[in-house]
Amino acid sequence: MIRCIAIDDEPLALKQITGYIKKTPFLELVGECESALHAMDFLGQTEVDLMYVDINMPDLSGMDFVKTLENPPGIVFITAYSEYALEGFRVDAIDYLLKPISYTDFLKSANKVRIWYEKQHVKKEELKSDKNFLFIKSDYKILRINFDDIKYIEGMSEYIKIHVTNSKPVVTLLSMKAIEEQLPSDKFMRVHRSYIISLSKISVIERNRIIFDGNIYIPVSDQYKANFQKYIDKNFLS
């Protein structure tokens, strides 16, 4: 099931979208919000896979709201104005629904969402976890990657690039969330929306940046800074 929330300041529009979500077998409604500010608070407490977001809302528009999120779930924008479509896709929206919305249009969009979701959650044979390594599917091959060989992982939209020692990076169709869930938390840490680093490979930290190979600078974003600082403090010798 794809866990969804609907965000719309118009009660009737919100009722329609939540009704459509409940009607669709592979979608699960986990929350409904009447403002972007309410949604921001909700996301901090609940795991969400997908947001149906109205663009035109007071105080904080749906578009601006999405831009504030460091690691947003999937997005389907909803609006009465077609001119927002291009901007929606610039922030990696899965789809765009134009009001008034029929259930046929909603279901067609939901099927796009399902394809996106399946890509994000790869089948077990494509990603298998063990204590010391992963199997990753890349270029029609299944590669074994030892945890000890991973330096850092870089997110690139629907793909990730796994940087390893003594070899070229491995690129695979996978989300950062999916790979993060398979990595041991005592060995790896997410420090940015687009980066997961191997804790054992850290040698230099400078101005909230982790330096790899002398010239690769990985930023530690505000969202992950507190957790990273706890790790540093725990291992700091004063």
Query: What pLDDT is stored for residue 83 in this prediction?
Result: 61
69 phi and psi angles, rounded to 5 deg: -85, 130
Q: Name the percent of the chain in helix, strand, coil, to the closest 5.
A: 35, 35, 30
Could you give the residue range(s) of every CATH 2.40.50.1020 domain in the chain? 127-234
- CA-nearest of 51, 63, 60, 62 to 94 is 51
Mean pLDDT for each consecutive 10-residue tract of the chain (238 residues)?
94 96 96 92 87 90 84 87 57 85 96 87 54 85 92 89 93 88 90 94 92 91 87 82
Domain with CATH 3.40.50.2300 in the chain: 2-120
Measured in degrees and rounded to the nearest 5, phi and psi for residue 203 equal -125, -30
Cβ(113)–Cβ(76) under 8 Å? Answer: yes
Distance CA 188, CA 43 (A): 24
Q: Report pLDDT for 191.
A: 93
CATH topology of domain 127-234: OB fold (Dihydrolipoamide Acetyltransferase, E2P) (2.40.50)
Q: What is the pLDDT of residue 189?
A: 95
Classify domain 2-120 at the CATH topology level.
Rossmann fold (3.40.50)
Sequence-ordered list of residues with C-beta below 8 angstroms from that of 222, at least 6 positions apart, any chain = 70
Give the global pTM: 0.56
CA angle 113, 94, 178 (to 5 degrees): 70
Beta strands in 82-208 (DSSP E): 95-98, 127-129, 133-138, 141-146, 150-156, 159-164, 170-173, 188-192, 195-198, 204-206
